Every structure is written in C-alpha cells, then in structure tokens.
Structure 1
Amino acid sequence: MALANPAYSSTYVKADKMLDVTNGKVLNNVVISIDEGVITGIGHTLPNTLDADDQLIDLGNKMLLPGLMDMHVHLTSDPTVPRVQRFSDSAPRKAIKAAYFAHKTLLAGFTTLRNIGATSYSVIALRDGIEAGDVPGPRLWAAGPSLGVTGGHCDNNRLPPELNYRAEGVADGPWAVRAKVRENIKYGANAIKFCATGGVFSKGTKVGVQQYSQEEMNALVEEAHLRGLTVAAHAHGTSGIKAAIIAGADSVEHVSYIDDEGIKLAKKHGTWLSMDIYNTEYTLTYGEQNGVAEENLNKERQVSKRQRESFSRAVDAGLNMVFGTDASIYPHGDNAKQFSRMVEYGMTPLQAIQSATINAAKLLRAEAQLGQLSTNFAADIIAVGGNPLEDISVLEQVDFVMKAGQVYKQPQ
C-alpha cells in the first residue's frame, strides 16, 4: 500500500537532478512541490519554513522522471504458469492475479498502464478498485474482452466443437462489432481492442493474415470514437496493419510486417505504433517449459526478427511510437527491460523515454495531466540512481515511486 500519508498539507520532493522529458534537459538541484496529488511548482529551493503537517522527501543524488507508462499489458495473464493451467482460472482468480501484477508493475515505476484485453471485465473491476483506494496500482485504461472474428486470434480455438465455446469478444459483421463495442462500454471499458490479424499465441491462425474486413474495422472504430474511446488494433500482417490505420485505429500493436505503404499511411494518419520488441528471448527460452505449443514457438521465431526490423524502419521514418511491451508474454514488472532493446534497434535514449511518457499520454488523450513533470500535472514521479540518457538500463532499477502524490516505494 501507499507509504505516504495523504493527509499532508504539502509535499516537497527534492533531488540532485530531474529530466525534462519534453526536451531532454537535465535540471539540477530540483524541488517539486505537490498539493492534493498535483504538482504545484518546480524550483530549486525549499520554502524558508515548512509547516508541521508538510512532508519533505529528500532523494539526494537521485534523478527524477515522470512515472512511466506501458500501453500494452495483460494483467490477468501469468507467463510463468503453464498455459493449460491458465484456462482453469476463474474470473475472480484472474482479478486477484491482476491486482498482484498491477502492484508489482507500479513498484517497477510504471504509474499508468493500458490493459488491452481481459476476460470477464476483471481488469475493469481492478481499475475501479484502484481508483476507490481498495488496492494499490497504476492508473489503468482498461479494455474489456478483445473483439475478434470467429476462429480468429481473439477467439479460443483450443476447445472441441461439441462445447460450442466462443470467446466473449467474438463478433462478426459491422453491426455485430458495433454491438460488441457498445457492450464493452456498457460494462465500463475506457479503451477498445480488436484483432485485425492472426497472432503468435493463438491456435490455427497465421500472424500475417487479415481477419476483420475493412468494412468491419471501419464500423468498429467509428462506434468507439462516437463514445470517445481510443482503439487499439492487434495487427502483425501487412494488409491488416494498413486496414486498421485506414479505419482510424488510434494505435496499432505489434506491427511486424509493415511495408512502405503502411509507413506512409501511418505518417499520414498520425497513427501510434506500439511494438513489443523485448519479449522474444523470454518466449523462446521459457516457452516450452511453460506449455507454449510448438506451433506458437515457430510463429515467434518467424515474426520476431521481422518485427525488430520494422521497428527500426518506423523509427527512421519518424512515426509516432509509444512504449508497449505485451507484458504477460514475459513476467510483469520487467517492463523496463524493453528500453534497452528500443535503443539497440534505433531509438535514442530520450526517444525511448518519451515513448513511455509524453507520447503515451498523447495516445491516451491525457497529455495535459500525465507524461511529464510540470506544474498542474499529476504528481506521478519516479527516481533512479543514474542518468538514463547515458545508460537506459538504469530504468530497470527504480528506487522511488510516487503516484498522485502518494509514495509507494522509497530508496532502501
């Protein structure tokens, strides 16, 4: 739970350095003042006197950054458990796991997550519990069940036909997808996710093959936008990526086989790309012992190199890019390990940090409240022991975490 007492009148966070993620400048000897969970000022000196009910947090030689943001997680899924065992988890069991993983991810420095896809509205319940103060966790944008075609990546194809089972998010045809979007919103979703192509971890789908038609995608995105929700499109394959962009999806996930035309379309539409280029090694190292089928391991082998090449091309083209890891394919809490991969495949350290701060905030349409340390922004603050512009891996060891003015982790 939170370590700070929310009854403090004012809180002051003091540190030797602070990174301004908007321009890459490092400020020295910084004091951030906070009231009611919001930053009220950034300066270099403390007030001459502190009131008895004020709080001073002196972090010494640490560097301050805004809380990190991961735009693609699945909090109900545990990659360390055999996949067949996950099918037996009830909705309440999934919700409890999600609460555990959300807290773990918060302590890793991620104060905002977008959970795009979970059964039984379990993560929506978690989001509401976090907002009510029942459990600790990051800010959550939570989709309900992912929309997908019958037999596609977002369906469940591992059960025999006599059970007549289909995943909660399955909807075929323009009016059916509109109805499914409305259903997700009815039960509290504040984001929508759909599967435009096949995927790595489903049975019987090919990652490059488009699933929804252009007409279906257009209807789905239009319906979500009518209600003010952003839309994420799972898309590995070339035609599915382009169809999702044309439909107006706010972000496209994975983006493994994007071509030159797709890059031009993404540039034209301002589409955000979320590319999970860290998790391959974990899948190929531990997947077999965790019950990942050979079909799925082979798909990971086929797609991973191409996805990383596409990431480099997207960076070179100057496309809009956000930090998204697909946490659940690797252990929750290891999210920051992707930063090093992003730098390895073409981003500067500042670009990688911006993808998880100001860019993610823009995708969520929360750029006036989240994503940077500035007056009138949420007091979501982390601290690390080095300069991530010089060594991006320091983000893998976050020493201090504050969300909305409450401290959840202090240096040991």
Structure 2
Amino acid sequence: MGHEVLGAPTPWAPPATGAVVVYRGATVIDGTGGPARTATSIVTDGTTIRAVVPDAEIADSTATVVDLTGRFVVPGLIDSHQHIATPPDRDAAEAMLRRQVYGGVTAIRVMADDLRQVAEFARAAQVGEIPGPDIHFAALMAGPTFFDDPRTQQVSQGGTPGAVPWMQAITDETDLPLAVAMARGTGARAVKIYADLTADTVTAITAEAHRQGLAAWAHGTVYPASPGDVVDAGVDVVSHATALAQEGTQHPLTTYKDKPPIEYDRFADGDDPNLQALFERMLEQGTILDATAGMWANYFAAEATDPESQERVRANSRLAARITSHAYRVGVPVSAGSDYENAPEHPFPALHDEMAFLARECGIPPVQVIRSATLVGAMSMGAQDVMGTLETGKLANFAVLSANPLDDMAHLTGIEFVVKRGCRYDRGDYEPAAPGR
C-alpha cells in the first residue's frame, strides 16, 4: 500500500487494557433486579469490568481511584427501540447520539433506518470518533404492498424501496436465503419483520434469519399475521404493547394501512384472556416485549390538538399501560424502548420518560424498571453476555447519579458522569443542541 494514513481522530476512544480505575464507595444497582449494594467498588480495566466487590476487598494499588461516596451507580441504559436515520440527517443524528450517551444511554437498538448511515454511526461511536451509544440495528422485511409508505422512500434514496438490502419486499417467490444474506451483509444483527406478511411467511423469515445467525424482531401485529402468529413463528422480540390488542379481535386483519379499530372495551375491566394465553406462550419461549409503553403519552400527546385525537391518545396510553402491566405480571421480559427522541433542545433522552412511565403507569417496581432498561434491553439485542449488568467481564458501561433512582425515576437526570466502554463522559461537558437541530 506504500504508506499508512492515520484515520479520523478518536477523542472518545476506549482506554487501553492496563488502564485500571477503581470507582469506590458507591451504592450499586447492578441491573439484575436484585437489591442495591452499598459501599461497593467497581474496578475497570480498559473497556471491561474487572470486579464489583465490597470496598473492603480492594487492596491499595497504583490504580486511579474515583471516590463515589454518596453516589448511585446503574448499568449503562439501553433504549430497545430507536430510529436515527429516517430520514437520514447526519447533524441531527449526531446530536441525538451525543445526548443519549451523556444522558446515560450506552447502547440502542435501531429498528430499521437508512442503514448506510446507521452502519457508519455504529462504527464511529464504537471506536470513539463521535460520542454515542453502541448501536445494534435491523434490516427490514415487509410485503410489497407496504412500500409506498413515504418512510421507505426516505431511507432508500438512490435505490428502489423494497429492492435494497436493508429494506426488502418479500413474496412467495423471494429467495429467502439470499434475502437474509443480503440483510446480514448490511451489518444488521437482526431482521425486522414489519407488515403485510402472512403467518407462513413470518415463520419462514424467522427460521431463515435464525439459521444464518440473525435475530428476528417483529411488530406485535404484522397484518395479516396476528400477534399469536408472530409469537408462534418464534421471533425473539415483539414491539409495541398496543399492537398486541389485535390478538383475539373480531375484525379481519388485512394490511398495515387498513388496521381494524381497537376494541378498547375488551381491556377495560381486567386482563384479557386472549392476551393471558399469548403472554404464557411468550414466557415459555422467552419472547421479549419491547413495549414502547409511554410513546402515546410522551410523544403523540404533543401532536393531539383536537378533542378527538386527544381522547385517542388517552385511550391508547391507558391501553399500553394495561397491556404492559399484564405482560410484566405474567413474567414476560419487558424491555424499555422509546421509538422517538425528544426535541433537540431537551436536555435528556426519551428513554428517561419511558422508564418513568413504566414505573408510574404500569406499576413496575423501580428496580425492575432499571432491569428492563439494562439487562432486558441487552437481551433484546442478544448482547447480554457483554452488557446490561454490572458484572465481572462485561463492558465498563455505567452511569453515576447524585440521588437514588429507586426512590424516584426523575433522579436519572442527576447524572454526574457516564462511563461507556471505559471512557468517561462528564455531564458538565454536555450542551443541548439548538432548536431544530
């Protein structure tokens, strides 16, 4: 090659192995759902956690020591439902990623976008060229009738919607091994199964994705495939609690654009037996619910300007809370995903609001909400072996808080600093983006 040229600068690069830091004196909430541990030290070595032990077990050494007396530590948060490139906008996406990592979010699951841009952000954030969480992303598959949706045009510029590797139209004639291989070639960790597909096709895509080492992430209802069809297909994660309300509906399921009305009365007086059976199957199979429970209250409410749309927002918000609470009580693993981001000038990421909704409206205990946003989030990406809890051998990803989030989820805003892959991000260095950017 003649000579080597240095690549882009990496101001947020992970530290090298041998750079040992002892974070001493903290109250640690480790993400497993267990009780908080006081007077605890986290020892990091480069990008990984070497030990999480009582302070008394730490011997004097030459390691750098950070005193966290009076502070609370949680694992790096994981938003299990995000979009960062629909449509692609580099400046806006970089601002979003920066806010996420300075807001305690050290990994996100991107649920289909223009993967040409997403893949570059994933590489840049991991090596430290830009500040941001680790990014695990999916390539989308849907029926041909879905691809006049304007979002598919936004993410396929330069190509044909439905005929690009990251967004493919699937028919009975599709060569599924080739289609999944093309999706895998984008760097995707999963196939997202979205809309206008039969139960048999959902099952075939899921089986082929698994055969090739990819996960299968699906909408709760794929139209005409029902929630029960989706779960029976063996997908790893289903998204949107309100989409599960179509299980047992008396209306025909046809296409994504022709959704039947939600039968709210079925859920008004208690747990729906159709969902009870569905959740029991999900629990048996280990299927994760990416609930996006707070999206109606936290995002769509701002767009509801007339009485009819405001009532729809309230009805869907109540429904999301009921269904998510039901799933949690059955034992289904519930992850914390937002499916939107706050306005650029907002100081904190949307995941904080989702976590507050899970605690306040869904009745999930705070320690379990943290588990949803850490360990279960990692499980939703198939990354639980390397992140999601504060344990020896996992990535050094955690947030240091000034107050106890188990007392109030609002204490998540009391971030003093975040460690991601061993690199420290001081909250005092963060400035929100200007409105519109």
Give the TM-score normalised by the residue count of structure 2. Answer: 0.76
1:24 aligns with 2:34: yes
Which residues of structure 2 form unaligned runs of 5+? 1-10, 154-158, 248-273, 430-437
Q: Aligned equivalents of 1:380 and 1:373: distance in 2?
A: 8
> Is the 2:241–2:293 Cα contact (8 Å) retained in structure 1?
no
> Is the 2:12–2:127 Cα contact (8 Å) retained in structure 1?
no
Q: Aligned equivalents of 1:102 and 1:165: distance in 2?
A: 28
> 214, 239, 251: which is aligned to 2:237?
251
> 64, 72, 75: which is aligned to 1:63?
72
> Is the 1:156–1:166 Cα contact (8 Å) retained in structure 2?
no
- Give the aligned partner of residue 376 of structure 2: 359
In structure 2, do the counterparts of structure 1 residues 8 and 97 end up closer, same or farther at CA, with 3 Å as the change threshold? farther
Q: Aligned equivalents of 2:188 and 2:412: distance in 1?
A: 30
Spell out the pairing of 1:179-190 with structure 2 (5 A cutoff): 179-190=178-189
Q: Aligned equivalents of 1:141 and 1:165: distance in 2?
A: 24
Deviation string 1:260-318 (CA, Å, 9 cap, x unpaired) is 332233223221001112222343443369xxx99998975664432222112112222
> Is the 2:206–2:235 Cα contact (8 Å) retained in structure 1?
yes
- Give the aligned partner of residue 215 of structure 1: 200
Q: Aligned equivalents of 1:329 and 1:375: distance in 2?
A: 34
- Give the aligned partner of residue 195 of structure 1: 194
1:309 aligns with 2:329: no
Spell out the pairing of 1:2-401 with structure 2 (5 A cutoff): 2=12, 6=16, 9-43=19-53, 44-45=55-56, 49-51=60-62, 54-77=63-86, 91=88, 94-144=89-139, 146-152=140-146, 155-156=149-150, 166-167=161-162, 168=164, 169-176=167-174, 178=176, 179-196=178-195, 211-236=196-221, 240-256=226-242, 257=245, 258=247, 259-260=274-275, 261-287=277-303, 303-328=316-341, 333-344=349-360, 345-401=362-418
> Is the 1:235–1:255 Cα contact (8 Å) retained in structure 2?
yes
Q: Aligned equivalents of 1:151 and 1:3: distance in 2?
A: 44
Q: Aligned equivalents of 2:375 and 2:104: distance in 1?
A: 15
- Give the aligned partner of residue 205 of structure 1: none
Deviation string 1:133-183 (CA, Å, 9 cap, x unpaired) is 322211111123x22223338943898xxxx96355241324537243322
- The one-letter amino acid paired with 1:334 is A
Q: Aligned equivalents of 1:137 and 1:157: distance in 2?
A: 24
> Is the 1:69–1:113 Cα contact (8 Å) retained in structure 2?
yes
Deviation string 1:314-365 (CA, Å, 9 cap, x unpaired) is 1222212111111248767121111121112121111111111222223333
> Is the 1:177–1:220 Cα contact (8 Å) retained in structure 2?
no
Give me the CA root mean square deviation.
3.2
Deviation string 1:47-95 (CA, Å, 9 cap, x unpaired) is 55443xx422223311111111111111225xxxxxxxx5xxxx5xx34
In structure 2, do the counterparts of structure 1 residues 75 and 297 end up closer, same or farther at CA, with 3 Å as the change threshold? farther
How many angstroms does 1:107 deviate by? 0.9
Q: Aligned equivalents of 1:215 and 1:3: distance in 2?
A: 45
- The one-letter amino acid paired with 2:123 is D
- The one-letter amino acid paired with 1:127 is A
- The one-letter amino acid paired with 2:226 is G
Q: After the TM superposition, which of the residue ranges 229-238 and 99-108 deviates more from structure 2?
A: 229-238
**3-state DSSP class of the match of 2:74?**
strand
Which residues of structure 1 form unaligned runs of 5+? 78-85, 197-210
How many angstroms does 1:225 deviate by? 0.8
In structure 2, do the counterparts of structure 1 residues 234 and 276 end up closer, same or farther at CA, with 3 Å as the change threshold? same
Deviation string 1:361-403 (CA, Å, 9 cap, x unpaired) is 2333332321111111211111112222222221243222001
**3-state DSSP class of the match of 1:61?**
coil
- Give the aligned partner of residue 202 of structure 1: none
> Is the 2:141–2:168 Cα contact (8 Å) retained in structure 1?
yes
In structure 2, do the counterparts of structure 1 residues 235 and 156 end up closer, same or farther at CA, with 3 Å as the change threshold? farther
Q: Aligned equivalents of 2:112 and 2:294: distance in 1?
A: 20
- The one-letter amino acid paired with 1:321 is V
How many angstroms does 1:243 deviate by? 1.5
Q: What is the number of residues matched between the two proteins?
A: 374
Q: Aligned equivalents of 1:37 and 1:183: distance in 2?
A: 32
> Is the 1:334–1:396 Cα contact (8 Å) retained in structure 2?
no
In structure 2, do the counterparts of structure 1 residues 176 and 301 end up closer, same or farther at CA, with 3 Å as the change threshold? farther
Q: After the TM superposition, which of the residue ranges 101-110 and 358-367 deviates more from structure 2?
A: 358-367
- Give the aligned partner of residue 419 of structure 2: 402
Q: Aligned equivalents of 1:225 and 1:122: distance in 2?
A: 25
**3-state DSSP class of the match of 2:150?**
coil
Moved over 6 A (4+): 293-299, 329-332
- The one-letter amino acid paired with 2:120 is A
Identity %: 21
**3-state DSSP class of the match of 1:56?**
strand
In structure 2, do the counterparts of structure 1 residues 152 and 305 end up closer, same or farther at CA, with 3 Å as the change threshold? farther
In structure 2, do the counterparts of structure 1 residues 296 and 274 end up closer, same or farther at CA, with 3 Å as the change threshold? farther
